[in-house]
Amino acid sequence: MKIDHYTYRVTWSSEDGEHVGLCAEFPSLSWLAPSPEEALAGVRRLVAQCVRDMMNASERIPEPIADRCYSGEFKVRIPPEQHRRLVIEASEQGVSLNRLVSAKLAS
């Protein structure tokens, strides 16, 4: 398992007064450090250790988000009134409902 395929992020934690390294595939893990570089390196080491421990325990290791295949489709349930409003808005703009919603999600 290549840990460099996982989705890492570094953000500032004003509560802790340090940068925090995170990994989307392991939401319970984080690493605090004074610099963004140290936070990233720390969370990567932590993920690597976690993956080794999971392998040794024959546990299922999360697949990296980047390695998954996506169809580009997903279902969203919304109230009928909101559906109607979106259809009207799409019609008024001369676009499909799909295009309108996709643009709204992207913004």
CA distance linking residue 26 with residue 64, whole number of Å: 10
What local confidence, expressed as pLDDT, does residue 3 receive?
85
Q: In terms of domains, do 12 and 46 share one? A: yes
Confirm if 10 and 21 have CB atoms less than 8 A apart: yes
What local confidence, expressed as pLDDT, does residue 1 receive?
64
How many domains are contained in the chain? 2
Question: Coil, strand or helix: which one is 19?
Answer: strand
Q: In terms of domains, do 46 and 89 share one? A: no
Q: What is the CATH number of the domain that holds 11?
A: 3.30.160
Q: In terms of domains, do 11 and 43 share one? A: yes
- pLDDT per residue rounded down to tens, the chain (107 residues): 678 999 999 999 999 999 999 999 999 999 999 999 999 999 999 999 999 999 999 999 999 999 999 999 999 999 999 999 999 999 999 999 999 999 999 99
Q: In terms of domains, do 89 and 101 share one? A: yes
- Residue range of the domain that includes 36: 3-66
Q: In terms of domains, do 74 and 97 share one? A: yes
Please state the pTM of the whole predicted model.
0.76
Q: In terms of domains, do 98 and 47 share one? A: no
